[in-house]
Amino acid sequence: MDPTQGPPRPTSPTIYDVAKACGVAPSTVSRAFSRPGRVNAETAERIRKVAAELGYRTNPLARGLPTGKTSLLALIVADVTNPFFFQIIRGAEQVARKAGYTMLVADVEESMETEREALDRVIPLVEGIVLATSRLSDSSIRVAAKQRPTVVLNRVMTDIPSVVTDNARGMRRAVEHLVELGHTTIMYVAGPEASWVDGMRWRSLREATYELELRPRRIGPFPPTVDGGLAAARAFGDSPTSAVIVYNDLMAIGMMRGLTEMGTRIPEDVSVVGFDNIFGSDFCTPPLTTVAAPLHNLGAFAIKTLLGRLGTDTPRTLRPALLPSQLIVRGSTARRH
């Protein structure tokens, strides 16, 4: 090995250095760190002390080679730029960190292609994977899951642990809220067609309205962005209702802006409900009534689930974990005029 080739940085001490300084065998040093029980208490203490003095840190890479335990977890997100994911990432990181894992966050920019590449790059590195709002097909996900324990977030699969928001309950609460305000016809403004969540929300709305004897309506699909909401506002003009429930907050914000520009007053003319309670939904105008997703908890719970799967090879429970959402009433909904 050419020493001028490798990293020219001051090479950090290894177990060999510590072993020499302690007068014990390298394997003992290794044991002192990886299974402290299997080494004489005093010796272990001495080793730890010397190691600290030398500034020894076990090299996770080297440890990973023989054991496969890299202490790395992957979180693949559809779009780091989408505020929906901020709290998810943080929740995930917190739990991972506490468990001694480092998280590798990969942004796939909503592209299936990029997601597959990210997976390829990341799989050999990590012990487990969380797919947050994956754009991959079920079968692609299964392929990945065969290589590393995998948890899907925001999507339900029957053979892979899933963590999702309880959309049905959330939708139900939103509808009840609107009914209490006197609305009788509710328009659902749909998000992307391919989205599992969109399908779920629309179905939940139909069920809720059916039970409450309301008429649901629907326009869309629209892209799940502010611009998509703008487009929805224009389409909505053709057959307005007094209340709309929008696929997500981003679209709801866009739609409110579009509506306002067209002279429609919110909430006087139209009540608007969004989904997710993302950053910004409280300071748009008017502040958005929304079904808050438990974002932080979603991320945290996904990692917890993954951590639980790490040892065992057989999935525990395959019922998707349903995390409760919460209706947050703000200024965009009001009594029907």
Residues of this chain that interact with DNA (CB under 7 A) are: 1-2, 5, 11, 14-16, 23-28, 30-31, 33-35, 37-41, 43-44, 56, 58-59, 62-63, 65-67
Beta-carbon contacts of 65 under 8 Å, excluding residues fewer than 6 positions away, are none
Cα 134 → chain centroid: 10
- Where does residue 166 rank: exposed (0-12), middle (13-18), buried (19+ CB within 10 A)? buried
Among 279, 297, 308, 329, indicate the residue that binds its own copies (CB under 8 A). 279
CB of 207 vs its own copies, minimal distance in Å:
32
Q: Which of positions 103-142 make contact with its own copies (CB under 8 A)?
A: 103-107, 109, 117, 120-122, 124-125, 127
The only residue of 17, 93, 115, 198 in contact with its own copies, by rule CB under 8 A = 93
Tell me whether residue 145 or residue 186 sits nearer to its own copies (CB atom).
145
Cα angle 297, 93, 56 (rounded to 5 degrees) comes to 150
In this structure, what is the dihedral angle of CA atoms 189, 191, 196, 199, given to the nearest 10 degrees? 20
Of 298, 15, 333, 312, which Cα lies nearest the Cα of 130? 298
Across the strands, what pairs with 77? 107, 132
User: Could you give the dihedral angle defined by the CA atoms of residues 22, 26, 27 and 33, in that order, rounded to the nearest 10 degrees?
Assistant: 60
**Cβ nearer to its own copies, comparing 70 with 325:** 70
3 state SS of 234: helix
Q: Does 192 bind its own copies (CB under 8 A)?
A: no
The smaller minimum CB distance to its own copies, of residues 57 and 319, is found at 57
Q: Which residues in 45-84 contact its own copies (CB under 8 A)? A: 57, 59-62, 64-68, 70, 72, 80-81, 83
> Which ranges constitute the DSSP H helices of 164-215?
167-180, 196-211
23 to 42, contacts with its own copies by CB under 8 A?
Answer: none
Q: Give residues in contact with its own copies (CB under 8 A).
A: 1, 5-10, 12, 57, 59-62, 64-68, 70, 72, 80-81, 83, 86-87, 89-90, 93, 97, 102-107, 109, 117, 120-122, 124-125, 127, 146-148, 226, 253, 257, 279-280, 283-285, 313
